[in-house]
Structures are given as C-alpha cells and as structure tokens.
Amino acid sequence: MTVDYLAEGKNAAAQFTLKVHRGEGMALLAMNWKRGQPPDDFVGFGIQYREPGSQFFLTARNRLNFDGAPNPNGDRSFPTLAAPVQKFRWIVFPFNADLPGKFDFKVTPIFMDEDGMLGEGESQIASLALSTETYPGKLNVTFTRGYVASQAFVDRYASTGDIVTLLPRKAADGPSFIPTHPKADEALAWMGFEARREILALLDAAIADPSAKVSVVAYDLSERLVIEKFEALGARLRIIIDDSGEHKEPHSGEAQAEARLVASGAQIKRQHMGRLQHNKTIVVDGAVKHGVYGSTNYTWRGFYVQSNNAILVTGANAIKPLQQAFDDYWQQTGFKSSQSTKWHDLNVDGVDAKVTFSPHKETEATLDEIAQDVDGAQSSVLFSLAFLSQTPGAASEAVLRAVQGPLFTYGISDKRTGVDLHKPDGNPAPVYFSHLTGKLPPPFKVEPSAGGGTNMHHKFVVIDFDKPSARVWCGSYNFSYSADCTNGENLLLIKDRKIATAYMVEALRIFDAYHFRVAMDGAKRDGKPMVLRKPPALSGQDPWWKEDWTVPNKIRDREVFA
C-alpha cells in the first residue's frame, strides 16, 4: 500500500536502510545497518535534502565536529558531510517545507581512514512531500517552534537584538507591545511556525468574508496581533474569555482585551467553569467554515516561547461539534448535562477522529478511558505532557507505568523547576531552567531566557505510531481530574497513522533538543568538550556506535524508527 507519510530508500548497494517519516514542516530520517554491525571506520552519516524542482542538494549541519578539525572561520555548525551525524536518526527542517511536490532526502555513510581522511560510501535517497496541510482542505496539524532558548534562535536573531525587543516582559504588557527588533517580522514567523501562521491566516480569511461569524473561547488572551484581528471582526465576533485567577485583575491582558473588544462591538462573556475556562478554540462560520482545537493560547508566550499544537479542521460538518460546544459554554449553566460532554465524530472525511468537551460529570469522566488505552499499547508510547508531575490520576499513572515497563517510550514533561525527560529505561533526566539560559560550553553561545512559566505546553500522547492502530490523545486537556471534571477543555482522540506520525516526530524533536542539553551539561561538569568520535584505531575508544548494538534501549531506538 502506498502511503504519503513514510518513504524508504531503494539502493540495494547501500550498506544501510533509510526511512523518512513525514512531520509538520520537518522530516525524521531513520537509518539502520543492513547486515551485522558497521565497520570500525564508520564515523556517521552525511545528510542532505533537495527541494522540489531543484537540481541541487542542501547539506544539513551539525553542532559538533571532530576534535582538532580545522575551523578557520570560527564556525559553530558544520556540514554533515564533513562533520557527520553520529546518530541513527535525525530531524531535518527544510527551509521551504511548504513547497508543493516531493523533497529528496539523501543520506551518505562517512568513513575515516587511518590518516584521518574522510570518505563516502553508497548513499540512500528517499522522496516525500511535506505539503503545508496534513489533509488538504480537511484537517491540518500545526505546531509552534518553541525554540527561543536554543542555539538556532541565537544564530538567527539574538545577535541583532535582545529578546526584550521581540517579546513583552509580562503578559499584561502584551496587548500594547510592539516589537522593535530589526528582524521582528521574520523572527516571530520563525518562532510561531505553522500554528501561528495558520491561525492568523484563518482570522484574516474571516475578516475578509463579510458573511463570516466567529466564535472564540480563550483562556489566555494578550497577543496584540490576535486582539487586533478580533477587533476587526466587530459585531461578528462572540468570545468567551476566562476570568479565573490573574485573568480577572483589572490590568490583566485579558481585561485589556475585553475592554477593546467591547469597544469594537463584539459580544463578550467572562467565564470560568468549576475552575478554569481553559479552552483555546475558534469557529469560523462563513463562506468557508473552519475550526481550531489544541493547546495554543493566544498570547506571546503561547505563540513564540512554548511548544504548542493546534488542529485546524475545515467543512460544515467538521465545525458542528465545536460550534455546539461554544453555544453550550455560552449558556454555561448545565454544561455537564449537555451533549457536548459526549464523544462526537470530528466529521473529517477519511480520518477516524472524535472530540469531547469538559467539564464532565464524574460518572462520565474520561481519565480511566485514556489510562486503559495507554495500558493497552503494544509497541510504543511517546508523549509530551505539560505538568505531568502535577496532575496525578489514572491517565498520568498509566503513562508513568509505560515509561517503567517493557514498551518503547520517550517523553517530556514540564514542571515548575524545569523539564523532565522520561527515557525508555524509566529514569527521568531533569533539565532545569538554568541549563537553558546559563553559560554553555564552547562553541555554544549564551541563549536568551525564556522567562518564567511553562516552556513545554503540549498535552499529547502517541500510542503505537508504527502500527495500523496508531492513535493520538491531544487537545487543551491536561491529563488530570481538574481537566476532566472541573475545567472547560477540548480532548481529541485521533486514530490515524499519518497524524500519529506527525505527533511522533514532534515528540522526538522536543525530546532530542532537551536530551542534548542533558548530555551537554554532563560534558560541562566532566570538563570534557562534546566532540565527534574518531575510529578506535585513532582514538583508542570503542566505536561511537557500539552502544547502539549493546544497550537494549538504544537497540530498540535504532530498530523502531528504521
């Protein structure tokens, strides 16, 4: 069967296999040796890609290089044909991922002889389209980049302006904040990635369509551009804005947004359910009908600092559950008895997906259902869950059981003191905020602080991504009793391998970024710079790939993706 989310290299002469997994604006390349183990002189993979219609390959770059390798220009990243990737999987971000047509991904094994000279082996090439929409005209999974505290951000933008010229210091400054960074437009588009771009485009389309009526539920609301687009809708906008905690304060971003939207003629309700109105949803009912679910708050932090996702659906039937939920929230009284708390088909042709809205009655809670599904996983559980350590309950306990059990698992959770990486051996590796913002060992530069608050804001679990039964739980819903029975939330269950693959790649992207921090911090404490490893005959050490054939977790990592 032909699929559009997975491609394989076909070169029988190559010594390794290649699989390319489609992500959203990115691709996961996974390699494995065909027979036995690699030779000792194998020092990694060179990675390249070619855009649709182009004759030329672009070369991915590596942050690491061999110790003593020439670096006359003081570079901090190196082409992988000269500084190969010493991993059996790698995520590539093409510059123009939304180009129509197929990208060609080329992977070349690199060898080093006894004189330290590099040579290339037989390459594999696999081709895959990375078109903008997951299912064009039906459903689109989108992500923010969440990379403010990163070397990639420093490379592009930190040298041309301070972070305070891009982002307000606090949420209450958001509605009036105007960036003064010389590359503000480019930087914000890069930081917000596809989620920001598609949400703003949806609002622009609604503004341009005089027949469009828009219904919004917003937990956080303080991003100036979003507020301005809501204002432009005037009386065509109905909006529910949370009024719990700091949101009810007279100078909060939400209170400022309310005052501006009242003046524009919008219909507004301030609301919290039993505790929070935690949804982040949009319904556009016009010539074209769109809906937005997910974890992305309409704030500077939600768009530009945090890792978030938004799911956009299109079509008259697709927006029905979302529109009904908005109407039930607008009434508020009796919500737990409304039909919105039941499971409803998302009505997206060809995609098995359903949605429910909180708060639920305790007798109709979903935590046990999620827990049973996680416990029933056959091959893998990958997750990115904000507040996992702060949300005890059946679902969180099931996720932690998966980490400590025989399944292949990777996960990341954000808590007040830092980030926890949950590895397949069941051992969390904490990454504290000081690791993200302090001095990093050479050749890395100091990164800007992402400020106080949550950095990783996703709430999703991917189960058995590599099987026909692949599925994702996601939405605004933290896996907790409060999310289930107290807050206003959206929770989706999507049984679709293409969508599961997209979330799998996102989970690995975030995990690898933070795991590199753990390794870098360890190298810093040990006083040993992080460098690429040479063959044993030159370095006197085991080959770099030995653990990939001897450590059970690394063996599974190598095999499950390739």
Q: What confidence tens digit (pLDDT) does each residue in 256-271 have?
A: 999 999 999 999 999 9
* Of the options 1.20.120.550, 2.60.40.10, 3.90.220.20, 3.90.420.10, the CATH number for the domain spanning 6-132+532-561: 2.60.40.10
Q: Three-class SS of residue 29?
A: strand
pLDDT in the model for residue 416: 55
Q: How confident is the model over 329-338, as pLDDT tens digits?
A: 999 999 999 9
- In this predicted model, what pLDDT tens digit does every residue of 522-554 receive, in sequence order? 666 666 778 899 999 877 789 999 999 998 888
Strands 237-242, 267-271: parallel, antiparallel or unpaired by DSSP?
parallel
CA 56 vs CA 10, 47, 96, 119: distances in Å: 20, 13, 14, 21
CA 269, 273, 275, 277 torsion: positive or negative? negative
CB 297 within 8 A of CB 280: yes
Q: Given a cut of 80, is residue 248 above it in pLDDT? A: yes
pLDDT value at position 35?
A: 95
Residues 6 or more apart from 528 whose CB is under 8 A from it? none
Percentage of residues in the chain with pLDDT exceeding 90? Answer: 75
- Alpha helix (H) residue ranges in 417-546: 433-437, 481-485, 497-526, 536-539
Question: Which has more pLDDT, 437 or 192?
Answer: 192
Burial class (CB in 10 A: 0-12, 13-18, 19+), 523: middle
Q: What is the DSSP letter of 148?
A: S
Region 451-458: mean pLDDT is 76
Query: How far is residue 33's CA from residue 50's CA, in Å, rounded to a whole number?
Result: 24
Q: Does domain 139-516 have CATH number 3.30.870.10?
A: yes
Between 219-228, 325-334, 548-557, the lowest mean confidence (pLDDT) is in 548-557
What pLDDT does 434 receive?
A: 43
Average pLDDT, the chain: 91
Query: Kind and range of the H or E element at 232?
Result: helix 224-233
Percent of the chain clearing pLDDT 70 (strictly above): 91
Q: Which of the listed ranges 95-99, 143-147, 225-229 does the model predict with the highest average pLDDT?
A: 225-229
Q: From CA 52, how far away is CA 59, in angstroms rounded?
A: 15
- Dihedral (Cα; 134, 135, 138, 141), 10-degree rounding: -20
Q: How confident is the model at residue 77 (pLDDT cuts 50, 70, 90)?
A: confident
Instruction: Choose among 458, 508, 498, 466: nearest CA to 130.
Output: 498
Q: Cite the beta strand spans of 315-371 per DSSP E.
A: 344-345, 352-358
Q: Is the pLDDT of residue 433 over 50?
A: no
Lowest mean pLDDT among 48-62, 482-496, 539-553: 539-553
Tokens of 529: 């710079």
Q: What is the mean pLDDT of residues 148-174?
A: 85
453 contacts: CB under 8 Å, gap ≥ 6: 301, 305
pLDDT at 411: 85
CA 289, 225, 458, 357 dihedral sign is negative
Q: Which pLDDT does position 270 carry in this prediction? A: 98
User: Residue 470: phi, psi to the nearest 5?
Assistant: -55, 140
Confidence of residue 298 (pLDDT cuts 50, 70, 90): very high
E-strand stretches of 245-399:
267-271, 280-285, 289-294, 309-314, 344-345, 352-358, 380-386
Residue 129 bridge partners (DSSP): 102
pLDDT greater than 50 at residue 435: no
Q: Strand, helix or coil at 336?
A: helix
Per-residue pLDDT tens digits for 371-401: 999 999 999 999 998 887 777 789 988 998 8
Stretch among 26-40, 107-121, 404-418 having the lowest mean pLDDT: 404-418
Q: Tell me if domain 6-132+532-561 and domain 139-516 are identical in fold.
A: no
Confidence band, pLDDT 50/70/90 cuts, at residue 509: very high
Q: Which two tokens stand for residue 54?
A: 């182009």
Instruction: Report whether pLDDT(442) > 70.
Output: no
Beta bridge partners of 385: 413, 459
Predicted confidence at residue 437, as pLDDT, reads: 47
Q: Per-residue pLDDT tens for 20-40?
A: 999 999 999 999 999 999 999
Domain boundaries, the chain: 6-132+532-561, 139-516
With cut-offs at 50, 70 and 90, classify the pLDDT of residue 154.
confident
Does 436 score more than 70 pLDDT?
no
Least Cα distance to 146 among 24, 245, 293 occurs for: 24
Supply the pLDDT for residue 76.
74
What mean pLDDT do residues 300-311 have?
95
Distance between CA atoms of 89 and 18, rounded to whole angstroms? Answer: 9
CB atoms closer than 10 angstroms to residue 106: 21
Structure tokens at 499: 């969508």
Note the pLDDT of residue 317.
96
- Determine the pLDDT at residue 404: 83
pLDDT recorded at residue 443: 59
Q: What angle do CA 135, 136, 138 make, to 5 degrees?
A: 70
* Percent helix / strand / coil, the chain, rounded to 5: 30, 30, 40
- Place 412 in a pLDDT band, splitting at 50, 70 and 90: confident
pLDDT of residue 427: 59
pLDDT value at residue 386: 87
Position with higher pLDDT, 192 vs 447: 192
Can you say whether the dihedral through the CA atoms of 336, 338, 343, 347 is positive or negative?
A: negative
Q: Is 42 helix (H, G, I), strand (E, B) or coil?
A: strand
Distance between CA atoms of residues 559 and 61, nearest Å: 24
